[in-house]
Homo-oligomer: A and B are copies of this chain.
């Protein structure tokens, strides 16, 4: 890109390293930034850095946050006796958007994957077990419906068995609005196995 001056090329290069941003988008974003008011760009640049600089794990649920407790764990109105186990902070966000779940979370930061060499000790399972020493009514396992997510769910279920705590798994099945014709066999079988009486 020697047709752009060095600093502009550098910015395009850095932007194109972000996930989902190809070279065309990076260029488009870069020129948008170059044409934006300085104070807006300063804010963008500062926000990126300060969020990264101050990020840490919530001491309760291990989601990414910038304070000791995340907004959910710090909220006394949430049901702290119901814990939903998710793979990462974005899964937490997905359930929060439903605006119906009132419990708290536990973020594993990964899933067990023998293929990728990720074992139980590599995700926040020890931390989950420590939390269960306090009063907990239910652990809802909401890991992804992938091979790794299912393996992790099975592992946690086995781990929790001796504690006697109610352990549940979110349902697998046909997505709402889904057209059966286009849904894979595994999902169709899961939906059949998980059928409920009407």
Contacts and interface: CB of A to CB of B under 8 A. Distances in A.
A54 B7 contact: yes
A122 to B, nearest CB: 15
Interface residues on A, range: 35 or more
A72 B8 CA distance: 14
A66 to B, nearest CB: 4
A154 B53 CA distance: 53
Contacts of A66: 5-8
Contact of A5 (B27, B46, B48, B65): B65
Contact of A33 (B30, B33, B42, B52): B52
A33 B51 contact: yes
A38 B11 contact: no
Contact of A11 (B27, B29, B30, B51): B51
Given A11-B48, A38-B52, A45-B46, 4 more contacts: A3-B70, A5-B64, A7-B55, A20-B28
Copies in the complex: 2
Interface of A: 1-8, 10-11, 14-15, 17-21, 25, 27-34, 36, 38, 41-55, 64-67, 70-72, 88-90, 92-93, 96
Contact of A18 (B1, B29, B88): B29
Nearest to A42: B49
Contacts of A30: 51
Contacts of A1: 93
Nearest to A3: B96
Contacts of A48: 11, 14-15, 33, 41, 44-45, 48
Contacts of A32: 18-19
Contacts of A96: 3
Scoring A34, A38, A51 by chain B CB atoms within 10 A of each residue's CB, the highest score goes to A51
